[in-house]
Amino acid sequence: MAFDIEMIKETYSRMKDRVDAAKEVVGRPLTHSEKILYNHLWDGKATESYVRGKSYVDFAPDRIACQDATAQMALLQFMQAGKDKVAVPTTVHCDHLIQAKIGADKDLQNAINQSSEVFNFLESVSNKYGIGFWKPGAGIIHQVVLENYAFPGGMMIGTDSHTVNAGGLGMVAIGVGGADAVDVMAGMAWELKFPKLIGVKLTGKLSGWTAPKDVILKVADILTVKGGTGAIVEYFGEGATSMSCTGKGTICNMGAEIGATTSTFGYDESMERYLRATDRDDVADEANKYKDYLTADPEVYANPEKYFDELIEINLDELLPHLNGPFTPDLGTPVGEMTKKATENGWPLDVEWGLIGSCTNSSYEDLSRAASVAKQAVDKGLVTKAEFGINPGSEQVRFTAERDGLLQIFEDLDARIFTNACGPCIGQWDRKGADEKKKNTIVHSFNRNFAKRADGNPNTHAFVGSPELVAAIAISGRLDFNPLTDTIKNKNGEEVKLDEPTGFELPPKGFDVEDPGYQAPMVDGSGVEVVVKDDSNRLQLLTPFKPLGDKIEGAKLLIKAFGKCTTDHISMAGPWLRFRGHLDNISDNCLIGAVNAFNKETNKVKSQLTGEYGPVPATQRAYKAEGIKTVVVGDHNYGEGSSREHAAMEPRHLGVAAVIVKSFARIHETNLKKQGMLGLTFANEADYDLIQEDDTFNFLDLDKFAPDTPLTIEVVHADGSKDEIKVNHTYNENQIKWYKAGSALNLIAAENA
């Protein structure tokens, strides 16, 4: 339908040359990840061996994918770049702006009614600039990408952190901020620090209740939410080749939850089967010609400890089903240990909802395995205790699952079949009673479970598991239900056991769909008019940011954030999603979820202008009105979570000059740089403790801003005492130019003028 076989052929045809050259330069066999990276160098053949975790390298990705929430700001920025068409095949997917409430038909129509202005904007910009457009209801971006665009050995970027899902089809696919996507759309190189490599050797084979999801839940438990930072995770071994392509997608998808740059698998027969099943024989035929180049050299997997920076081994024969959570995806509990852990921690054991779907687990295989469990509830006379909600991943999956009777099985349990969209996964869930903020437990097959993420209720304890485990737990209504050992009482008072799930890797009768929901762009879109009304609440044309300059003095502390501060804390999702294309309106959520280190409250900071406490956005707007710059201070892994550049653009728009933290999540750090701000880390972590509520910051040597050179800041406290602290940064020459120009986009526009 929409993939570009010529582009894929081009990528493959140069591969031998470039990979061989890279091997020569690097002087050893290469991993699969390295082959892809070296085949996508912006400057062509490798002339040097890049240092993992150190070298900044320019790449030329094959594709770009954007979802509707992030595409708005990305395309508003692209419109400023002065180009006629996107330089690289790009697609836009409408999946985030659809709320789950009643069921697919009504919810989709409501979303269209509420967001038609945004959908029309995205459609017209897509038409104008040669971008493929996937309409609301067509599916979740990463499932649609896997079905249509991902290809072994390819490189893709996407304005969503779960772009990494495409690693399931052997890609290096990386989530970026909209500003990075704009660079590539405008025909520029895309810069990335050459990643480190973590190898995960999968021995044994999945069986019974254990699913691909359990592999990544285990990896998350081992590596934690920071463990993959700056690294590509490459999976290999008999356990890898024996699982399905969509299962691999699930594993790669949740690589975002360990902070990994991306995850990938070498090309194998499961990928070939998936390509053929999704109507891409030509891609499979091409890939088969280059098999050796689409996976690591044999020596690498034979002696992985020599070639990866870190190596993990998981025996799938011994792996138990896991539930990870609550509130963080790296807190793993194997089934069988939950009663003890939940009791110790006060997690409610009664489960109210089981949600199946999201980009993580919404393939045909996922639905079929969960349905095989659900069917047993009917067949064995069980009464389902929790409510069920299902989000199919794409119209193709939904249509096929409906045809094959899978959806009917869930409907027989009174499940709500929501739109083929993100829904509860992104807080787009109008859950009845959520505003009562009752302590409760839900289980889902999604990827993230931060507080408030699904339903806005901070007391909802969300646990992540495989679709089949979610189905079993929803039926039993117990968080500590262990399907391997436990029984459930049926209507007749008999204790029954659920059989192991069964399913289909691919639909036995093939995929089918009537209207996949795709709209190709006009060949010549120059006449298309893009409308953004002046009084729009949802969309706002951008005004270039002014450079912050090389003298920042008298900057005030806006907030010292305590503990976890994700992009959800910095720029909340849920109801705020509707303002993703309107920078000034969405800035009213700036940092409202961050915990103030001085009073441990959210959205309550002291204004140094009045001495009063007030909401973060209003306090910051008052500083801006007075022309006073501000500083945000944060803890470890600041900005973890999603790729949304709003988390950088909002503080920038409101006048924050610098964010100083113990450590950054990669995408957020880059986003701050792109928006022309200072993203800095304490050279001495303990200096975080020096920062007081009434502090003023003077940057002493910003006029000498240079790569690999720490900056010095004088921190003046309320009593007049001073501390001089050193802060590190990772800006290279070019990124310093972004800072000096006011933003990366200002630099692009100047070059295109």
User: Catalytic amino acids?
Assistant: 95-96, 160, 448, 642, 644
Nearer to ligand F3S, 295 or 360 (CB): 360
Nearer to ligand F3S, 426 or 659 (CB): 426
Q: Distance (Å, rounded) from C-alpha 91 to C-alpha 197?
A: 29
Distances in Å between the alpha carbon of 315 and those of 202, 337, 432, 488? 6, 19, 42, 30
Q: Which stretch binds ligand F3S (CB under 6 A): 56-64, 138-146, 175-183, 653-661?
A: 138-146
Nearer to ligand F3S, 160 or 635 (CB): 160
Distances in Å between the alpha carbon of 106 and those of 14, 70, 102, 419? 49, 24, 7, 9
Closest contact distance (angstroms) between CB of 394 and ligand F3S is 12
Q: Which stretch binds ligand F3S (CB under 6 A): 140-148, 283-291, 525-533, 592-600?
A: 140-148
Q: Which stretch binds ligand F3S (CB under 6 A): 123-131, 418-426, 499-507, 542-550?
A: 418-426
Nearer to ligand F3S, 666 or 729 (CB): 666
Closest contact distance (angstroms) between CB of 359 and ligand F3S is 3
Which pair of structure tokens corresponds to residue 713?
């800041």
Q: Are 681 and 729 in contact (CB under 8 A)?
A: yes
Binding mask 509-548 for ligand F3S (x = CB under 6 A): ----------------------------------------
Residue of 22, 138, 422, 565 that binds ligand F3S (CB under 6 A): 422
Closest contact distance (angstroms) between CB of 96 and ligand F3S is 6
SS (H, E, C) 114-148: HHHHHHHHHHHHHHHHCCEEECCCCECHHHHHHHH
How is residue 561 annotated by DSSP?
A: B
Nearer to ligand F3S, 126 or 394 (CB): 394
Distances in Å between the alpha carbon of 250 and those of 206, 279, 354? 14, 21, 18
Q: Are 168 and 250 in contact (CB under 8 A)?
A: yes
Closest contact distance (angstroms) between CB of 145 and ligand F3S is 10
Assess 359 for contact with ligand F3S (CB under 6 A): yes
Angle at which helix 733-741 crosses helix 666-674, to 10 degrees, equals 50
Q: Are 521 and 129 in contact (CB under 8 A)?
A: yes
What is the CB neighbour count within 10 angstroms for residue 537? 12
> Which of the residues 197 through 256 are near ligand F3S (CB under 6 A)?
none
Angle at which helix 467-476 crosses helix 364-379, to 10 degrees, equals 20
Ramachandran angles phi, psi of 556, nearest 5°: -100, 155
Q: Distance (Å, rounded) from C-alpha 533 to C-alpha 540?
A: 8
Give the contacts of 701 (CB within 8 A, at least 6 positions apart).
711, 712
> Which of the residues 586 through 615 are near ligand F3S (CB under 6 A)?
none
Assess 358 for contact with ligand F3S (CB under 6 A): yes
Q: Distance (Å, rounded) from C-alpha 246 to C-alpha 505?
A: 8
Nearer to ligand F3S, 257 or 669 (CB): 257
Closest contact distance (angstroms) between CB of 162 and ligand F3S is 5
Nearer to ligand F3S, 446 or 450 (CB): 446
Please count the residues of this chain forming the interface with ligand F3S, following the rule CB under 6 A: 14
SS (H, E, C) 395-448: HHHHHHHHHCCHHHHHHCCCCEECCCCCHHHHCCECCCCHHHCCCEEEEECCCC
**Amino acid present at 508:** P
Closest contact distance (angstroms) between CB of 386 and ligand F3S is 20
Nearer to ligand F3S, 162 or 193 (CB): 162
Q: Which stretch binds ligand F3S (CB under 6 A): 118-126, 135-143, 325-333, 596-604?
A: 135-143
Assess 425 for contact with ligand F3S (CB under 6 A): yes
Closest contact distance (angstroms) between CB of 306 and ligand F3S is 35
Closest contact distance (angstroms) between CB of 95 and ligand F3S is 6
Q: Which stretch binds ligand F3S (CB under 6 A): 102-110, 137-145, 380-388, 701-709?
A: 137-145
Strands 605-606 and 555-560, by their bridges, are unpaired
Three-class secondary structure of residue 707 per DSSP: coil
Residue of 426, 472, 473, 479 that binds ligand F3S (CB under 6 A): 426
Binding mask 160-199 for ligand F3S (x = CB under 6 A): x-x-------------------------------------
Closest contact distance (angstroms) between CB of 422 and ligand F3S is 3
What is the CB neighbour count within 10 angstroms for residue 339? 15
Closest contact distance (angstroms) between CB of 72 and ligand F3S is 15
Binding mask 86-115 for ligand F3S (x = CB under 6 A): ---------xx-------------------
Assess 654 for contact with ligand F3S (CB under 6 A): no
With b meaning 16 or more CB within 10 Å and e meaning fewer, what string describes 504-534?
A: bbbbeeebebeebbbbebeeebeeeebebee
User: What's the order of all strands across the beta sheet hosting 196-203?
Assistant: 262-265, 231-236, 196-203, 310-315
Q: Distance (Å, rounded) from C-alpha 460 to C-alpha 615?
A: 24
**Amino acid present at 54:** K
Nearer to ligand F3S, 92 or 314 (CB): 92
Nearer to ligand F3S, 266 or 516 (CB): 516
> Which of the residues 441 through 460 are near ligand F3S (CB under 6 A)?
446-447
Q: Distance (Å, rounded) from C-alpha 261 to C-alpha 249?
A: 15
Catalog residues that contact ligand F3S under the rule CB under 6 A: 95-96, 140-142, 160, 162, 358-359, 422, 425-426, 446-447
